[in-house]
Amino acid sequence: MKRALCQEAMGAQLMVLSPQCTKQLLSERFGRGSRTVDLELELQIELLRDTKRKYESILQLGRALTAHLYSLLQTQHALGDAFADLSQKSPRAPGEFGYNAETQKLLCKNGETLLGAVNFFVSSINTLVTKTMEDTLMTVKQYEAARLEYDAYRTDLEELSLGPRDAGTLGRLESAQATFQTHREKYEKLRGDVAIKLKFLEENKIKVMHKQLLLFHNAVSAYFAGNQQQLEQTLQQFNIKLRPPGSEKPSWLEEQ
């Protein structure tokens, strides 16, 4: 709950606050103001933020794996070329150098296929984190700002309602009531928007991760088993095309 309040405060600082909102924000920070809480929704929002942090870690590790695989492929290419060259220039052991050159060539081919699969995995996780999750969190920030405004004008209305009634205060009370109603409608709309986006995000996340984890498992398992056919079938299954060697680092990936 404290973390959620801090997130709201940070979002509120990015907008120009009215005197009512400034007062409400300070009251909440010092534990004096009343705050509207949708406990179920806030738990879902906190879970999303935690999930995003964990997926960002997976994304970072996936990118590191891609870089390591690319470096390994470059080394294997160079080693294969060196063996091939020596097989032509070493009459006493041409066969041994030739066998090793062919082995490195096969390892490179399988490695390029694995690299394509890992790049596809990383690209999909990146889209999920930086676009899909981030879009939902932008709506969450709007909702949190609207919640602050709603509570600020609610408190303002309550204080006016408890004060003396005369011609001047009745006019202010009517204006405060209209302002409060406007912000209540905005708050309720954004609360509904957040609930819908969280629901669709969860469904999309499950769908994306089911596909990507299956791809990652099948590709890595086939690579370390030395099963070239299964590796190629995995890429075909997920409609992944490889660019020819010589493309820019780190990927020879092309999505269909």
What are the pLDDT digits (tens) for 73-99? 999 999 999 999 998 887 777 788 889
Tell me the two tokens of residue 100.
């090793």
Q: What is the DSSP string of 84-117?
A: HHHHHH-TTSHHHHHHHHHHHHHHHHHHHHHHHH
Tokens 């996936």 sit on residue: 62
3-class DSSP state of 14: coil
Residues 204-217, mean pLDDT to the nearest whole number = 96
3-class DSSP state of 164: coil
Does residue 23 have a pLDDT over 90? no
Does residue 198 have a pLDDT over 80? yes
Domains and CATH numbers, the chain: 53-234 (1.20.1270.60)
| Amino acid residing at 23 | K
Q: Measure the CA angle with vertex 187, ends 183 and 193; round to 5°.
A: 145
Crossing angle for the helix pair 19-29 and 2-13, to the nearest 10 degrees: 150
What is the pLDDT at residue 7? 52
How confident is the prediction for the chain on average, in pLDDT? 86
The band of 18, judged by pLDDT with boundaries at 50, 70 and 90, is: confident
Does residue 157 have a pLDDT over 60? yes
Burial (CB < 10 A; 0-12, 13-18, 19+), residue 167, is exposed
